[in-house]
């Protein structure tokens, strides 16, 4: 197989939590170690601006997420790791693509439609209430991220499949009109990517407020884990691991043998406190070292900025070349 270019964006809103780690960060970092491919990872801070309009929070989240990926082993020498906003060619390409995108296509975007639906359900007289143009044209910015670096494979969660189809549509239309300049990307859906439950048993998500942060102190991590909702079964009563949040999170960090052992203890009636203590110890063992690296990195924001700026320089070799080509193609060179 020829060399593939993998590219994925991380929206910089919120503080990274265990669900992000298990579902996205850990598998992506594993994949990034494969020298057979080109890998682009970027902090989608322009995307974050659509929803997060608190400058201090945006800056903090971006720094936390950058440090988390680096602390967990992303190697900026091996991959291209950068901030979206450090690539001025991205908004340029976004505009060229905007002029090649049917408004009707954007009308069908799920993220936009979901808010229209909420407004309608709430009985609002304005279906577009609270919707800015960033949200409406979000898929075009995302298409620019992808097409800029000629990505062939884009690993995303299921909720992003439609955005990938739109990126393909937009690229095809551009190529049809101006000639074959853009590479048509393929979506890679992380079917196996684990979805972690949160403190209340629903999917761990910032929007439910049920997350366990990735890099809090060991003491706080333990406290969070002790808050996981369990039923009122007493120690000694056999417990069902199926659909149990403690068991499920344990499984996401354990070897198969460790998981079997906990399953046995559930059958033997382990108390919730003991089960949670084991969960804490397991997670802490995996995260203790990265946590130290994270704390060291976050204390050196200038170093992080240097790494990201270097990543952007690497990326811009390609984005400049493509934009030169495209400016000629559309007649504004």
Q: Are 152 and 132 in contact (CB under 8 A)?
A: no
Mapping DSSP onto H, E and C, the string for 175-217 reads HHHHCCCCCCCEEEECCCCCCCECCCCCECCHHHCCCCECCCC
Of the pair 17, 47, the CB lying nearest ligand TRP is at 47
- Work out how close the CB of 283 gets to ligand TRP at its nearest, in angstroms, rounded to a whole number: 24
* Residue 88 Cβ vs ligand TRP, minimum distance, rounded to whole Å: 16
Give the angle 289-290-296 at the CA atoms, nearest 5°.
Answer: 100
Q: Using CB under 6 A, count the residues that bind ligand TRP.
A: 12
Nearest to 104 by CA among 147, 128, 136: 136
User: 32-71 mask for ligand TRP (x: CB under 6 A)?
Assistant: ------------x--x------------------------
Q: Is 156 in the site for ligand TRP (CB under 6 A)?
A: yes
Residues 6+ apart with CB under 8 A from 115: 130, 131, 135
Instruction: Name the residue nearer to ligand TRP (CB basis): 11 or 80.
Output: 11
Q: Which stretch binds ligand TRP (CB under 6 A): 3-11, 126-134, 268-276, 300-308?
A: 3-11
Beta carbon of residue 166, minimum distance to ligand TRP (angstroms, whole number): 11
Of 5, 6, 11, 43, which one interacts with ligand TRP (CB under 6 A)?
Answer: 11
| Torsion of the alpha carbons at 160, 166, 167 and 173, rounded to the nearest 10 | 170
Find the binder of ligand TRP among 45, 64, 89, 145 (CB under 6 A).
145
Q: Which residue is nearest to ligand TRP (CB)?
A: 9
Tokens of 237: 């009563």
What b/e sequence results for 184-204 when a residue is b if at least 16 CB atoms lie within 10 Å of its CB, and e otherwise? bbebbebeebbebbbbeeeeb
Identify which of residues 145 and 190 has a Cβ nearer to ligand TRP in the complex.
145
Residues of span 160-219 touching ligand TRP by CB under 6 A: 160
Instruction: Find the shortest distance in angstroms from Cβ 189 to ligand TRP.
Output: 12
Residues within window 84-143 making contact with ligand TRP, judged by CB under 6 A:
142
User: Residue from 5, 6, 9, 318 that binds ligand TRP (CB under 6 A)?
Assistant: 9
> Is 226:276 a contact under the CB 8 Å cutoff?
yes
Residue 14 backbone zone (phi > 0: left; psi -120 to 50: alpha; other: beta): left
Query: Minimum distance between the CB of residue 293 and ligand TRP, rounded to whole angstroms?
Result: 25
Only one of the segments 7-15, 50-58, 65-73, 128-136 lies at the binding site for ligand TRP (rule: CB under 6 A); that segment is: 7-15
Q: Which of 146, 147, 196, 279 binds ligand TRP (CB under 6 A)?
A: 146
In the sheet where 5-11 sits, what is the strand order? 80-83, 38-44, 5-11, 153-156, 186-189
User: Contact positions toward ligand TRP, by CB under 6 A?
Assistant: 7-9, 11, 44, 47, 142, 145-146, 154, 156, 160
């Amino acid at each position: 197989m020829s060399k593939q270019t993998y590219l994925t964006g991380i929206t910089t809103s919120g503080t990274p939590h265990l669900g992000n780690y298990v579902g996205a960060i850990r598998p992506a970092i594993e994949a990034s170690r494969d020298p057979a491919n080109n890998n682009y990872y970027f902090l989608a801070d322009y995307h974050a601006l659509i929803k997060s309009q608190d400058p201090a929070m945006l800056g903090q989240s971006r720094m936390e997420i950058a440090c988390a990926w680096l602390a967990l082993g992303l190697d900026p020498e091996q991959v291209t790791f950068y901030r979206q906003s450090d690539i001025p060619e991205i908004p340029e390409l976004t505009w060229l693509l905007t002029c090649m995108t049917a408004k009707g296509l954007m009308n069908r975007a799920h993220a936009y439609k979901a808010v229209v639906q909420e407004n309608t359900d709430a009985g609002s007289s304005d279906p577009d209430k609270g919707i800015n143009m960033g949200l409406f044209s979000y898929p075009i910015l995302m298409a620019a991220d992808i097409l800029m670096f000629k990505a062939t494979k884009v690993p995303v969660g299921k909720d992003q499949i439609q955005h990938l189809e739109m990126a393909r549509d937009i690229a095809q239309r551009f190529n049809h009109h101006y000639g074959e300049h853009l590479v048509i990307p393929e979506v890679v859906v992380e079917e196996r990517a684990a979805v972690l439950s949160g403190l209340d048993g629903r999917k761990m998500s910032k929007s439910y407020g049920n997350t366990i942060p990735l890099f809090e102190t060991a003491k706080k991590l333990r406290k969070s884990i002790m808050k996981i909702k369990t039923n009122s079964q007493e120690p000694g009563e056999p417990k069902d691991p199926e659909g149990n949040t403690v068991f499920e999170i344990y499984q996401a960090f354990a070897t198969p043998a460790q998981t079997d052992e906990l399953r046995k203890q559930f059958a033997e009636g382990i108390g919730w406190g003991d089960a949670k203590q084991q969960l804490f110890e397991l997670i802490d063992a995996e995260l203790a070292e990265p946590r130290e690296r994270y704390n060291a990195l976050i204390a050196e924001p200038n170093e992080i900025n240097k790494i990201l700026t270097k990543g952007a320089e690497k990326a811009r070799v390609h984005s400049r070349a493509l934009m030169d080509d495209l400016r000629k193609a559309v007649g504004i060179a």
